[in-house]
Structure 1
């Protein structure tokens, strides 16, 4: 009987210490408004995330926040040196569009991918993916050229081009 008593006492002491620490370390309760106490409409708003400050060209209203249309497949760009493939660059791109604009992006995705691949091939042939290819100036020029193509296909629906993944694999 004694050999069961010691583990039981240790378990109870650990449980008590855990509960005490939890009560002691919990965050202080914020002042609750009258709606929060009654469960009224304000109770739902009490847990809503705070609105972020408006950024340039975008509204702080969540209903007017832009959407992001991720292009379905990655872009694979070969880097040719001395007539052979020296490396491959793999990119994932997304387009920032106004609310409801993703359907328009997916409707013209083949044409959009064709234009973007042309830009990526030109960038590769100009040496844009050699050396420190992730340098800010390099990526700004690439984004600008990709956005130009996106706007030529989508018009003002294309707000920005986002490079979500980029990788170079040397052979």
Structure 2
């Protein structure tokens, strides 16, 4: 039994270490690109209704990955690892980070329910399957943050079979 868990544990550990290294070694955002996007939005008077400048979305990346076991016959058959970002109203990112533990708890419940319903079995990346998952996650996020949340983006999705 322990011999079967070692590859799974090593795989998860490797993913976490790789994710941490990627997080800390990511390049800094280019200031010129941000300025150009703001200028473009301000220069297009028809971008948002009657002459209002377009409001650029803000994204809040949830800090750690989510690890979800996939069970078959009472045993773990795979592990699914996901990362999320929330599209929120401008200025709402600090509030997302203030309630992140609550968000993580709600998201894990949605992910476990999705896994138990077979959502991570077979062709788990099917578009319709992911739409169902995103809608459930968005509903959970809105129950905590209200209409400040516009969308849930799945930024990473990996399944490792045992």
Q: TM-score, normalization: structure 1?
A: 0.66
Return the offset for 1:60: 8.2
Unaligned runs of 5+ in 1: 1-46
Q: How many residues align?
A: 123
Q: Cα distance 1:160–1:84, how it changes in 2: closer, same or farther (>3 A)?
A: same
Matches within 5 A, 1:92-171: 92-171=83-162
Unaligned runs of 5+ in 2: 1-34
| Counterpart-to-counterpart distance in 1, 2:102 and 2:118 | 25
| Counterpart-to-counterpart distance in 2, 1:65 and 1:87 | 38
Match of 1:51 in 2: 40
Is this contact kept in 2: 1:76–1:89, CA < 8 A?
A: yes
Runs of 4+ in structure 1 deviating by more than 2 angstroms, as ranges, are 47-57, 59-62
| Counterpart-to-counterpart distance in 2, 1:152 and 1:103 | 17
In the TM superposition, what whole-angstrom CA distance separates every residue of 1:79-117 from its partner, at most 9, and x where no partner exists?
A: 011111100000000000011100000000000110010
Return the offset for 1:48: 4.3
| Counterpart-to-counterpart distance in 1, 2:36 and 2:91 | 23
Match of 2:58 in 1: 67
Is this contact kept in 1: 2:47–2:53, CA < 8 A?
A: no
In the TM superposition, what whole-angstrom CA distance separates every residue of 1:116-167 from its partner, at most 9, and x where no partner exists?
A: 1000000000000001000000000000000000000100111100000000
Q: State the superposition RMSD in angstroms.
A: 2.5
Q: TM-score, normalization: structure 2?
A: 0.69
